[in-house]
Amino acid sequence: MEIVEGQSVDRIQEPHTTQPTVVEELEETETEERLPDENKECILIIDDNADVRGYVKSLLKEEYTVIEAADGHAGLKKAMKYVPDAIICDVMMPVMDGLECCRKLKMELQTSHIPVMLLTACSLDEQRIQGFECGAD
């Protein structure tokens, strides 16, 4: 088995096959991104689970322009590009977790004012404190 790294996907080349198997999509293509509607407030959803992103988007899309990112690094780039009105971010993600993403967003002058709400399955007080320490609202 040979691992082939590409710009937007990782693939595993199975022996004796000509087509690679797509393992995980790492980035969404920028061409699919719609520009925020100036008449609606914009919310950025950062979550590695496409089902969760889709569910949260379905709840918000009538009243808000919704932008999505699949990990903290992509979310940080989209936050800098679009400067949304609010960010909903998962805590546990590959590439850059939600706590690190929140810290970086709050350190940037361009994004430090944006409210960041963290999503997590954990409900321990220690994790809540970590969220507040990194600047989550």
pLDDT band at 69 (very low <50, low <70, confident <90, very high): very high
pLDDT score of 4: 45
pLDDT digits (tens, 9 = 90+) for 71-114: 999 999 999 999 999 999 999 998 999 999 999 999 999 999 99
Give the CA angle between residues 43, 69, 42 to the nearest 5°.
Answer: 15
Q: Are residues 53 and 96 in the same domain?
A: yes
Order across the sheet with 9-13: list the strands.
2-5, 9-13, 21-25
Mean pLDDT, range 56-71, rounded to an integer: 95
Q: For residues 101 and 46, what is the distance between their CA atoms, to the nearest angstrom?
A: 10
Q: What is the pLDDT of residues 17-42, one digit of tens each?
A: 444 444 344 444 443 455 656 788 99
**Same domain (yes/no): 21, 45:** no
Mean per-residue pLDDT, 50-71: 95
Q: Do both 127 and 84 map to the same domain?
A: yes
Top-confidence residue, 36 or 117: 117
Q: What's the CA gap between 17 and 61, in Å, rounded? A: 42
Length of the chain: 137
Looking at the structure, do residues 44 and 17 belong to the same domain, yes or no? no
**What range does the domain containing 105 cover?**
33-133
pLDDT score for 39: 80
Whole-model pTM?
Answer: 0.72
Give the residue, 30 or 132, on which the prediction is more confident: 132
pLDDT at 123: 66
The tally of domains found in the chain comes to 2
Model confidence at 54, pLDDT cuts 50, 70, 90, reads very high
The answer to whether 105 touches 79, Cβ cutoff 8 Å, is yes
Residues 51 and 74 in one domain: yes
User: From CA 69, how far away is CA 47, in angstroms rounded?
Assistant: 6
